[in-house]
Structure 1
Amino acid sequence: MIIILDISLKDELKFSQEHQDKEFIKVSSVDSNTLNLDAIFINEKYSINKKEYYRLFVRPSLSNAHGYDYFKSYFQTSKENETTLNLKSGAIQFYVRTKGGMELLKFGKEDHLAVPSYSITANRSGRFTLKDFDFIEVDIPASFIEDQQEVFITYSASYNVLGEKIKPHNNFGSIEIDRRNLTQYNYNKADAKITIANLAYGYLNYDFNNKYKRHYFDLLRNDIELKMKQRSANTIDPIMEVKSVYSSWNYLDQSTLGNKMNTFLELFLKGLNRTEAMTSTAKLKSDFNFKEHYDIKKLNDNITQYTEGFTVKSTNKTSYSFPKNTVEENDSGTEGIVWNPLYKNNLIYNRVIDLNSRVFSIDYVNENLKEDMYKIDYSEQTSNLKYKTVIKTKIADLNAIGWKNKERIINYINEKEKII
């Protein structure tokens, strides 16, 4: 029987009420009658042209400083039934804090992100018409932030915008991102389910619908299912099946995200704009020394990808060796790691998997293995021939030295003992 003992994800926060209310992305406040940034972060690497990135999406939007409502304020002081805010153009520079200092993000050959035009039209009844009010993708090199739990980005922006009480202006701000995964686990012997609640999350400044209490939203989740299956009898390395499913939380009115962001999320859920990749590194663990019972230089895993996940299987072949009483690698042995009944302590099989840029450590153990099952690769005939040859050679050498020459015989035995 295979039992999962422990699963841990690097840089994780276990699900709790306290962590559920945590904002994993924040955008600094700017003055009223200026434009702030909406931001969405995808906490998963993707590869393009053999380079790895994390994706941040930004959108200049109305500031909601101190609860200020731009359109409500306009209709309180104006007799007009409709007004339009026009962003004609804009440019934003981003600096990312790395371990080596602040790094300027590049957009091709440009050192700034060009913001295209959009318009927001509101009427007195609270209905809005949004034209080209979309998020823009910002690719952050993975090497800038992958070794940091907390990501800090500063920006400077210039906007050519026209509206009631809002004119062209410059402003500065920051985006703070917590990259730790909010996780929840469910164990059932050889099966486990891991939920990553904050796969994608965002911060929206202005709420056009006036119905959300928070500016922070979790957008996507990732459910990972693990199933362990034993190989042949008395092997300690199970086959591991990994299934990864992405889904939307549906907490947010998707229309507020704009057409392009909605299309991106739909394609992401279908797997068309994300990178599926997995690696596995295995090892044996115990509180006691097991080296005398297992002589295996390196455990090797093979990964097979299929439609909804991966299968992980050790490529090692081993057998029980007599008279060494150890399990060792053998090309003609059993597929997997044969259990050594002489080792009386628990032996944990550990796999560290990197699944789509998230690193899990998984411990599992086999119980109820049979102590009377040995697989011994030992040929009496071959061994007898070997030892007869060795003994015959040794006696011939000693006869050549001469039995009366005790000193040379002793020296010969000392020199040849390990070889023979």
Structure 2
Amino acid sequence: MIEVVLGVSGGIAAYKACELLRLFTESGHRVRVVPTAAALKFVGAPTWAALSGQPVSTEVWDDVHEVPHVRIGKSADLVVVAPATADVLAKAATGQADDLLTNTLLTARCPVVYAPAMHTEMWEHPATVENVATLRRRGAIVIEPAVGRLTGVDTGKGRLPDPQAIFAVARGVLARPGQQPDLAGRHVVVTAGGTREPIDPVRFIGNRSSGKQGYAFARAAVARGARVTLVSANVALPDPAGTDVVRVGTTEELRQATLKAAEEADVVVMAAAPCDFRPAHYEAEKIKKKDGEDAPTLRLVANPDIAAELGARKRADQVLVAFAAETAAEPVALANARQKLLRKRADLIVVNEVGIDRTFGADDNAAIVLGAGIEPVQIGNRTKDDLAQAVLDLVSSRLSHICENG
């Protein structure tokens, strides 16, 4: 059974950690909640004990014979601190140990995930920025806080991400037992969803992409320590924790947002499904159906090839992952994908078989990954999160090769 330590520090968002605790326990994990004394001002010890089925303490002096300040951290498979206040981040970064939680953080040799929650000014303060950078440099995963309503009337960056989203990051970390966050310090840009090209104010050309695979890539990259920019086209999914989400509608909007984000990116994953064509003319008013008249003819023009443009601009130290959505049989699909790999100057191309009730909108996916200098990699049917991890393994290998060869 996986042993999880849930650290809870003294912020108003402490009540949300109850939901995170439930997600862990219902998934079969054994959870030991270690709150700070300030956290108990918001949610009492009886609540944590009842929900976890484990004893709750804030002090190293409780049950001293069991040496909890050492034992809890050493026996954990994962430590998650949610919410992580500016105070706890500072103590963790400077190695202070004045209560059970900070002692646990010093003795833990497993992955540690921090989910910060604080006011925007505190998050952006140079001291917090340096503390977060220190923790990340040491291998901890510090999730970027969400943007939204804070305490009182304030709004901004500093809100605790949704518990489901934090749990998704934790699952991503646990999916790679014993491995370091190999994308720490990297900036990963992921595109997701399907673009829409307006015909008139009420109609558009689109596709069946749900954005699930792109969002899975974003979650996986966060769990591996990356800073993630998610360019999202018409997706009805909750924002993955720790991502900066840029919302777009059309292919041109996707193009502009992606090219801008890619300028400083280490990795670009083009998981979105841009429309290949758009109407040559946009009607400012709804096109009316008129009795006795034939339907109007819709003339299309080609949209820009965003992946190819990224490939033409790609730096030598940057990895570009393109996608090929194919409906043809495998030999033809792979031949098409190899041509796309060369034309787009991508490092890797993920080949998906798509169609009605296949890949688009599904929770599972299968793919073949092609790349220059490697044999085709067959990724059998699995969850989209697992597929994203498998592809990012190949990306990480490419980045390591780039570093080794200057």
Q: Pick 1 or 2: higher relative contact order, CA cutoff 8 A, min separation 6.
A: 1
Q: Which TM-score band applies after superposition, normalised by the shorter structure?
A: under 0.3
Q: Which has the higher strand share?
A: 1
Structure of higher CA gyration radius: 1
Q: Which has the higher helix share?
A: 2
Instruction: State TM-score, norm by structure 1.
Output: 0.21
Instruction: State TM-score, norm by structure 2.
Output: 0.21
